[in-house]
């Protein structure tokens, strides 16, 4: 049972990733990530347009992602890439000329994808173009109208209630024109062609947790991975939600078929507990790796079954693809009160939460990289670990220490039918402990990697 080069590499990569996760300087890394969130926050992004391009170019400072352009009108499965939308300014003035809403101050005030319009409307007609939150009257909502041509403004319900009858002036200086949809793509190549997909949506304007946190996390992951030699190739997609992932899937079906594992990253900066949403498959290796990492994190966490609502996992997990793609967030979409409102601002995102999320993503990669099938070469009774210096010499104590238990579990369960993740789930020991035990046993000649088995 010879060891193939990529096996050696992957063993090293898993250890590299472990050390990477362990050696993060939380303060420095957190400050850097949060700084990026603040820098990206004011830009008016949408599913197309210059705000999106500008945001992706800022991320290029962190990781060398490439910008791809898909022309308006391109058919992508059941959808058509819409006209490109850009905003010069958008203001709503009151009967006395006072500024009611100004996208220049907060781009959420603008109904995203509003068509250009200039004119005066009475309050009654204007109301049909206003969006506010009766239950959260002090917040401005985030609303869009991508596929029905419309214009509108979003404002606080408090302000809306104070609007007086009269004539309002709409200065909607936007454009909808032939152009393209932009997305960012980056491949960190590994020893294998099989890919790990990381996807973040980039279309939301001034919303910090949803999803500047995910964009910054993915860019940071890409930078850290570039310093390692992984077994898998890692593909990062920075896409406008829904239409962006659909466009990528439609134009890259062959690449999609190489996705062995995937995660959709979003809402990774708030103070809530980590939440893993399973892939449609439910028990894919990524599902098990993520749940193992969360279970061993020592923190509270949530695991949810797949539902066909949420982020771009909806597309990756559509039945025609059914990719093993889950989603790791902190508080899920729609479950925190600031969601899709002006309260999802950089203050909602905490540097230490960004770093904690980053660590868990790295730990999941460690599991994927190190998850191999081994076979005990001395399967009849336990081998004598003591004579190899792998076991304490004084007997009679009540419990074996963790590293010895890890060796005993690996020896007992590794019969060529189980991966290390299987052993981790069964033993409830940490994957890294088992991975290192396996490596010690392998070096002692007691264990070999099983060839020809998919991990």
311 lines the binding site for a copy of itself (CB under 8 A): no
Tell me the closest approach of the beta carbon of residue 242 to a copy of itself, in angstroms: 8
Tell me the C-alpha distance between 354 and 37, whole Å.
10
Binding to a copy of itself (CB under 8 A): which residues in 169-208?
A: none
Closer Cβ to a copy of itself, 137 or 334, answer by number: 334
296 lines the binding site for a copy of itself (CB under 8 A): no
Tell me the closest approach of the beta carbon of residue 33 to a copy of itself, in angstroms: 25
Tell me the C-alpha distance between 85 and 110, whole Å.
13
Strand 130-131 relative to strand 99-102, pairing: unpaired
Closer Cβ to a copy of itself, 167 or 415, answer by number: 415
- Among 334, 347, 402, 451, which residue sits at the site for a copy of itself (rule: CB under 8 A)? 334
Tell me the closest approach of the beta carbon of residue 10 to a copy of itself, in angstroms: 24
Tell me the closest approach of the beta carbon of residue 334 to a copy of itself, in angstroms: 4
Find tokens 């925190």 and name the residue. Answer: 336
DSSP H/E element including 200? strand 195-201
257 lines the binding site for a copy of itself (CB under 8 A): no
Q: What is the CA radius of gyration of the chain?
A: 26
- Asked if residues 449 and 442 have their Cβ atoms less than 8 Å apart, the reply is yes
The count of other CB atoms within 10 Å of the CB of residue 48 is 28
What is the rounded (10 degree) CA torsion for 247, 250, 252, 255? 110
| Residue 354: alpha-carbon gap to chain centroid | 12
82 lines the binding site for a copy of itself (CB under 8 A): no
- Among 277, 314, 359, 442, which residue sits at the site for a copy of itself (rule: CB under 8 A)? 314
Binding to a copy of itself (CB under 8 A): which residues in 86-115?
A: 112
Burial label for 100, CB within 10 Å (0-12, 13-18, 19+), is: buried
Q: Find the part of the chain contacting a copy of itself (CB under 8 A) among 58-66, 286-294, 386-394, 434-442.
A: 386-394
Q: Find the part of the chain contacting a copy of itself (CB under 8 A) among 222-230, 303-311, 348-356, 366-374.
A: 303-311
- Among 7, 86, 145, 229, which residue sits at the site for a copy of itself (rule: CB under 8 A)? 145
333 lines the binding site for a copy of itself (CB under 8 A): yes
Closer Cβ to a copy of itself, 231 or 340, answer by number: 340
134 lines the binding site for a copy of itself (CB under 8 A): no
Closer Cβ to a copy of itself, 99 or 402, answer by number: 402
42 lines the binding site for a copy of itself (CB under 8 A): no
According to DSSP, residue 157 is labeled H
395 lines the binding site for a copy of itself (CB under 8 A): yes
- Among 158, 308, 347, 402, which residue sits at the site for a copy of itself (rule: CB under 8 A)? 308
The count of other CB atoms within 10 Å of the CB of residue 265 is 26
- Among 5, 97, 119, 319, which residue sits at the site for a copy of itself (rule: CB under 8 A)? 319
Tell me the closest approach of the beta carbon of residue 61 to a copy of itself, in angstroms: 29
Tell me the C-alpha distance between 18 and 16, whole Å.
5
Q: Find the part of the chain contacting a copy of itself (CB under 8 A) among 186-194, 294-302, 380-388, 433-441.
A: 380-388
Binding to a copy of itself (CB under 8 A): which residues in 337-366?
A: 339-340
Q: Find the part of the chain contacting a copy of itself (CB under 8 A) among 48-56, 166-174, 353-361, 401-409.
A: 401-409
Tell me the C-alpha distance between 221 and 236, whole Å.
9
Q: What's the half-sphere exposure (Cβ side, CA atoms, 13 Å) at 442?
A: 20
Q: Count the residues of the shown chain that bind a copy of itself, applying the rule CB under 8 A.
A: 63
Tell me the C-alpha distance between 40 and 396, whole Å.
61
- Asked if residues 79 and 47 have their Cβ atoms less than 8 Å apart, the reply is no
Tell me the C-alpha distance between 179 and 16, whole Å.
43
- Among 188, 208, 217, 411, which residue sits at the site for a copy of itself (rule: CB under 8 A)? 411
141 lines the binding site for a copy of itself (CB under 8 A): yes
CA-nearest of 79, 43, 71 to 58 is 43
155 lines the binding site for a copy of itself (CB under 8 A): no
Q: Strand pairing partners for 239? A: 201
- Among 146, 183, 234, 238, which residue sits at the site for a copy of itself (rule: CB under 8 A)? 146
Who's near 52: CB < 8 A, 6+ residues apart? 45, 46, 182, 202, 203, 240
The count of other CB atoms within 10 Å of the CB of residue 286 is 27
280 lines the binding site for a copy of itself (CB under 8 A): yes
Q: Find the part of the chain contacting a copy of itself (CB under 8 A) among 2-10, 74-82, 351-359, 366-374.
A: 74-82
415 lines the binding site for a copy of itself (CB under 8 A): yes
Who's near 293: CB < 8 A, 6+ residues apart? 360, 363, 364, 367, 431
250 lines the binding site for a copy of itself (CB under 8 A): yes
Tell me the C-alpha distance between 163 and 285, whole Å.
55
CA-nearest of 244, 242, 271 to 335 is 271
- Among 54, 136, 412, 422, which residue sits at the site for a copy of itself (rule: CB under 8 A)? 412
């Amino acid at each position: 049972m010879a060891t193939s080069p990529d096996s050696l590499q992957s063993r090293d990569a898993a250890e590299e990733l472990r050390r990477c996760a362990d050696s993060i300087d939380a303060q420095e890394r957190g400050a850097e990530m949060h700084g990026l969130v603040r820098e990206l926050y004011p830009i008016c992004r949408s599913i197309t347009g210059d705000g999106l391009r500008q945001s992706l170019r800022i991320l290029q400072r962190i990781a060398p992602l490439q910008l791809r352009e898909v022309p308006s009108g391109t058919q992508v499965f059941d959808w058509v890439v819409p006209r490109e939308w850009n905003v010069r300014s958008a203001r709503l003035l009151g009967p006395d000329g006072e500024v009611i809403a100004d996208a220049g101050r907060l781009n959420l005030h603008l109904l995203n994808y509003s068509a250009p319009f200039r004119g005066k409307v009475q309050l009654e007609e204007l109301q049909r173009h206003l969006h506010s939150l009766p239950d959260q009257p002090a917040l401005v909502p985030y609303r869009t109208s991508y596929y029905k041509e419309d214009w509108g403004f979003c404002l606080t319900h408090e302000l809306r209630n104070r609007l007086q009858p009269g004539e309002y002036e709409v200065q909607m200086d936007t454009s909808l024109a032939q152009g393209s949809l932009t997305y960012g793509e980056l491949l960190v190549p590994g020893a294998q062609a099989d890919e790990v997909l990381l996807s973040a949506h980039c279309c939301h304007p001034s919303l910090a947790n949803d999803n500047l946190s995910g964009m910054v996390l993915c860019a940071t992951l890409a930078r850290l991975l570039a310093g390692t030699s992984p077994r898998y190739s890692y593909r990062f997609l920075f896409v406008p939600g829904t239409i962006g992932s659909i466009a990528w899937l439609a134009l890259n079906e062959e690449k999609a078929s190489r996705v062995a594992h995937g995660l959709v990253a979003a809402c990774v900066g708030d103070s809530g507990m980590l939440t893993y949403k399973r892939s449609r498959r439910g028990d894919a290796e990524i599902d098990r790796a993520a749940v193992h990492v969360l279970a061993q994190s020592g923190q509270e966490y949530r695991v949810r079954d797949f539902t066909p609502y949420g982020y771009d996992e909806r597309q990756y997990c559509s039945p025609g693809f059914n990719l093993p793609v889950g989603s790791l967030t902190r508080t899920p979409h729609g479950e925190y009160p600031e969601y899709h409102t002006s309260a999802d601002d950089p203050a909602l995102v905490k540097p230490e939460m960004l770093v904690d999320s980053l660590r868990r993503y790295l730990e999941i990669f460690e599991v994927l990289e190190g998850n191999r099938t081994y076979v005990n070469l001395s399967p009849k009774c336990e081998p004598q670990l003591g004579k190899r210096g792998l076991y304490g010499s004084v007997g009679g104590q009540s419990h074996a220490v963790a590293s010895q238990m890890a060796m005993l579990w690996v020896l007992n369960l590794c019969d060529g039918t189980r991966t290390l993740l299987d052993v981790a789930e069964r033993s409830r020991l940490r994957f890294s402990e088992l991975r290192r035990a396996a490596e010690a046993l392998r070096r002692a000649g007691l264990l070999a990697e099983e060839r020809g088995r998919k991990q």
